[in-house]
Amino acid sequence: MRRILLASAAFSLLSASAFAADLSPEVPFKAPPSPPPFTWTGCYAGGQIGGGFGQKDLTDTAGVIGASPNLDISGYTIGGQIGCDYQFGSNLVLGVEGAAAGGDIGGKTSFATPGIPGDTTTFKDTTDFLTSATARVGYAWDRWLLYAKGGGAWVGDRNDVFDAAQNYAFEGWEMRFGWTAGAGIEWALRNDWSLKLEYDYYGLGTRGVTFIDNISGISAAENIKENIQVIKLGLNFHVWAGPLSSPLAW
């Protein structure tokens, strides 16, 4: 009996070993590859809205107004931008950008007309166009980018000087060139979309503006000094930005 039991146990062990040998080896588990790191390298285009404020100082160099008023201006801008960036391995980002915006940044001030008792003169200004071409340098950490920018700027202005008694109504249009510098922070909410908050200062210097009187037809050159500051909120769509082979991430 004992021999029969031992023989049965040995047969069972041999059968189990043979069955295990027939099984195919188990495929080892492989973790999915990590997505490539996000990069700011690429080109983009987008839109922006902003609020602007500044100062305009008129100097009556022609002597036709009899005063040199100062004017605080404020208003809004709506526009767009297009640019390209390159991110180095050290997280340094270099890029270029062109931007243009229309709107209404202006104001007016009134004062007693010199030499005409009871009359009032008004100096009114409207900046309705701002554009710039800038370079920018930034530091990136993952989907955040802190940057500074600077370059050339152009603005379109309309200036009016008129009095209540309608003795004169001077009007002066100009496209003014200057410089701009600013800073901002940008966040990539997806690989192809980003939000930015930016501050820009426009230094437009002192320029001679030709005014033409719509009543008498005479012209006069007056000096106007101008600066504008704008705070912008922008949205950009990126092309070739981020790890395109990986799923878009929020």
Task: Tell me which DSSP letter residue 13 carries.
Answer: H
* CATH label of the domain that carries residue 152: 2.40.160.20
* pTM of this prediction exceeds 0.85: no
Domain membership of residue 14 (yes or no) is: no
Q: What is the domain range of residue 209?
A: 38-239
Instruction: Answer whether residue 221 is part of any domain.
Output: yes
What is the total count of domains within the chain?
A: 1
Is residue 247 domain-resident? no
β-bridge mates for residue 139, sequence order: 92, 146
**7 falls within a domain:** no
Q: Is residue 64 in a domain?
A: yes
Question: From CA 236, how far away is CA 201, in angstroms rounded?
Answer: 21
19 within some domain: no
Percent helix, percent strand, percent coil in the chain, to nearest 5: 10, 65, 25
Is residue 29 assigned to a domain?
Answer: no
Alpha-carbon span 248 to 250, nearest angstrom: 7
For residue 12, tell me if it sits in a domain: no
Q: Write out the chain's pLDDT in tens, 250 residues.
A: 545 444 454 445 445 454 445 545 555 556 666 667 889 999 999 999 999 999 999 999 988 888 899 999 999 999 999 999 999 988 999 999 999 999 999 999 999 998 899 999 999 999 999 999 999 999 999 999 999 999 999 999 999 999 999 999 999 999 999 999 999 999 999 888 999 999 999 999 999 999 999 999 999 999 999 999 999 999 999 997 555 434 344 4
